[in-house]
Amino acid sequence: MELSPTAKVVCALIGFGKRTGYEMKQFVDKTTRYFWAASYGQIYPELRRLEEQGLVVSREDPTGGRRRTSYALTDAGREALTAWLARGDGLMFEQRCESMLKLFFSDAAPELRVDQLRSFARALEGNLAALRELQPLAPEMPEGPRLTLEFGIAQMQFMVDWCRRMESRLAADAGRPAAREEATRV
């Protein structure tokens, strides 16, 4: 039983104890979004599909007069989930980073390079700050989430540091080659 990308997260989220579509989305936005995002437009239809396939069961679970639908894994669902975790595939690591793209092509406008790096670093620092806010909760977390949080922080820190290093390297280089250019050209 091959799960679609979204089906994987959804099953995993149910297995993790997130029972409503709404709750799943909130949780994803707070935790996994840095390496795996999900929108309502994926979650709700996927829950339906998974129920049709018999991997989850729904149950009406209103809070007062407010309707709510809770989901739970069936045996087949639990099986599919552990099978997914056990499979050695899905090692993919994809990035889409417009800042790096701009940096790559920055020779078309070299004077903007340092600024690009600087604003990229600032943006990353925003992410870093958001992750750091979760850190106090780390001792209470299961090992999986704790490890990925730690990774996220380390990774953001690495990228910020790299940008800062490049910034100052470029700033330093800017003096000398300018001097050389001057010497040869003038």
Partner DNA sequence: ATCCTCATGTAACCCGTTACATGATTAA
Partner DNA sequence: TTAATCATGTAACGGGTTACATGAGGAT
Cα separation of 161 and 71, whole Å?
A: 43
- The structure tokens listed for 113 are 């390079």
Interface characters, 154-183, with its own copies (x: CB under 8 A): xx--xx--x---x-----------------
Angle between the N-to-C axes of helices 40-52 and 21-30, in degrees from 0 to 180, rounded to the nearest 10: 130
Q: Does 72 bind its own copies (CB under 8 A)?
A: no
What part of residues 26-55 is at the interface with its own copies (CB under 8 A)?
31-32, 34-37
Length of the chain: 186
Among 12, 13, 21, 156, interactor with DNA by CB under 7 A: 21
Cα separation of 147 and 160, whole Å?
A: 20
Cα separation of 136 and 11, whole Å?
A: 27
The count of other CB atoms within 10 Å of the CB of residue 137 is: 11
Cα separation of 28 and 9, whole Å?
A: 9
Contacting range for DNA; rule: CB under 7 A; set: 19-27, 121-129, 151-159, 170-178? 19-27
Cα separation of 7 and 128, whole Å?
A: 28
Q: Does 57 bind its own copies (CB under 8 A)?
A: no
Residue closer to its own copies by CB (options 58, 155) is 155
Cα separation of 124 and 112, whole Å?
A: 18
Contacting range for DNA; rule: CB under 7 A; set: 61-69, 124-132, 138-146, 155-163? 61-69
Q: Does 151 bind its own copies (CB under 8 A)?
A: yes
Among 4, 39, 119, 168, interactor with its own copies by CB under 8 A: 119
Among 1, 29, 30, 45, interactor with DNA by CB under 7 A: 45
Residues at the interface with its own copies (CB under 8 A)? 8-9, 12, 15-16, 31-32, 34-37, 81-82, 84-86, 88, 90-110, 112-113, 115-116, 119-120, 122-124, 127, 142-145, 147-148, 151, 154-155, 158-159, 162, 166
